[in-house]
Structure formats: structure tokens, C-alpha cells
Amino acid sequence: MLDKLYNFKQQHDQCGVMLCFSGYLSQELMIGIGEVLRNKLKQEEDSSMVLKIFSVFVEQAQNIMRYSADQIPPNSEEDSALGSGILVIGKNQGHYYISCGNIVDNHKVPHLNSQLIKLQQMDKEELKQYYKEQRKKDTPQDSKGAGLGFIELARKSNSQFEFSFQPIDEHFAFFSFKTIL
Amino acid sequence: MDNLNISATTQTPAIYFDEENQTLNMIGECYPENITKFSLPLFAWLNNYLMVLETQLFTVNIELIYFNSSSSKMLLDLFDCLQSAVVENQKNIVVNWIYDVENESALEYGEEFKEDLNNLNFNLIEKN
């Protein structure tokens, strides 16, 4: 592993990776990483762009925390669960990319898949209307946020996102999602 | 009635009531892990306040630099609550959505709330 570390870092550099995190993610960790990200971006971008990238980062990170199938259960009611996943933020060919990945239960794949295809096919105005419609509804039962995360991600990127599900075994698949700004 | 005074953190806004001006202020950023838990004291305070509010003007100033999607739902719930107080109980309420001109999405989000709140006096105000 040790001799491969430089190689690993070089691969990241070639892909323009600015930040990469893999493992269990907490809200506190997310805040820390977010601060580093904003400080770095401030040197290169105007405040609107910095906030846009930051907002995509927050939605993706909170998705991992809330919906990763690999979780450390909370110690107490005050605590929250820690979801495991991977987050990568970088710049390639003049565009920023923010990617996240985590394992999901196989039975959740069809719904998520069709939901994301639907979002990909919507134009700006349709996404706005859909966002407003969903926001008026009561929070879905299996949602720990407001169920608006992916719609927000689609809106921020004008539907410029990619996703995939890679089979792991009979229980789980690996979900990857990439936003391009 | 207890006064409302929540200090800001990196991930949550300052929320406080200025009694002299009958103004509720929300200033900062909002992306906590659990927005429902965070906003409980705000809604508890607001429900009490709306019951004792008479004919005087109640102003709500919202100045958020960034908020996540679940906080956007909380904001809509807040505005719905204020709109109901206007429509059903003839309360005198004004909301000022204060945005920085350099922050493109802050104005856009404000406009989207305004579009859905036809019976609430909702102003979009550019920050000086």
C-alpha cells in the first residue's frame, strides 16, 4: 500500500482532483471539508460559483450520510448515523465536477434509477415546477431530508449529471453520481 | 413570552426577535443535518407570538447566504404559517427577503417563494 500511495496521488492529480474523501462521513466532517473547499475556490471563482459548487457538495455529502446502506448506527438519540461513501471534487477541462458514491440496497435501485432518468429529461422550467411541487408535499417517509436533494442537484447543473449502479452482490449495488458545473 | 434568540453557527443562522421593532431576523447560512430539530424552537415561538400579535406590524427579515434543500422546505413552512395568519386572522405581516446582488441564486430562490405566496406581503430587497 505504502509504495502505491504516490501513484494513487498522481492519478488524482491527473484527473484534477482538488479534494477526495472516502469513509464514514459526519456532519462535522462535512462542515470542515466544506470550509476548505470554499477557501480554495474563493481564490479562483466569484462568490456565486463558489456557492454553487458548495451547495452541490452539501447535497451530495448529506445524501451519503442519510442514504448510504453502510452506516454506523447512532450511539444515542442525540447522535446521528454515519454513512459511508466517497466524495470527489475536482476540475477537468475547464469544468468542475463533484462526484459521490455509496452502496445502496438493491431493492431501492429501480425507484432511484427511474427518478433520476425523469430528472435528466426535464428542462429548466420543468425542474423548477417539479421542485416547487415536491416542496409543498409532506416529507416522504423514508426521507430524512425533504426529498428535494436530487432535484436541487439537477437544477444546479441544468441536468448535467451522470449516474450509474454497479452490482455488488444479491443485496447491494454501488451508486455513483457526478455533477458537472 | 420568552424572547427568541438563537446564535449563529457555521451551519445554522442566527434567529432573533427584536421586540422594539417587532421584527424577526434570520441571518446566516442554513444546512444542518436535521432541520426539523433545529427549527422546532422557532416554530414554537412563532405559534405563541402569532396568538398574542394584535394589529401592529410584524416584520420578518430573511437574509440567508446559503441554505440546503431541506431548509428550503422549512422556509416554505414558515412562510405558509405567516400567510395563514394573514389570510385567516388578518394579521399585519411583511416578509423581507434580503439578498446580495453578487449571489445569483439568493434572488432566484426569493422569487420562487414569492411566486407561491400570493397572499403574503413578500419583498425582495437588494442588500446595500
Cβ-nearest to B69 among A27, A47, A148: A148
Single pTM value for the model:
0.94
**Residues in chain B within 8 Å Cβ distance of A62:** 31, 33, 68, 70
Is this prediction's ipTM beyond 0.90? yes
A45-61 confidence digits (pLDDT tens): 999 999 999 999 999 99
CA angle, residues B95, B98, B104, in degrees to nearest 5 = 130
| pLDDT tens-digit profile, chain B (128 residues) | 668 999 999 999 999 999 999 999 999 999 999 999 999 999 999 999 999 999 999 999 999 999 999 999 999 999 999 999 999 999 999 999 999 998 888 999 999 999 999 999 999 999 97
Chain B hits for A27, CB-CB cut-off 8 Å, are 11, 32-33
Cβ–Cβ gap B68/A62 under 8 Å:
yes
Exposure b/e, B10-34, CB count within 10 A at least 16 = b? ebbbebbbeeeeebbbbebbbbbbe
| Average pLDDT score, chain A | 92
**Least-confidence region, from A60-69, A135-144, A154-163, B105-114:** A135-144
- Measured between CB atoms, does B10 come within 8 Å of chain A? yes
Q: Which of B65, B73, B100 faces A146 most closely, judged by CB atoms? A: B73
Rounded Cα distance, A63 and A44, in Å:
27
Whether residue B72 and residue A135 make contact (CB cut-off 8 A), yes or no, is: yes
CB of A48 within 8 Å of a chain B CB? The answer is yes
Least Cα distance to B103 among B38, B35, B29, B33 occurs for B29
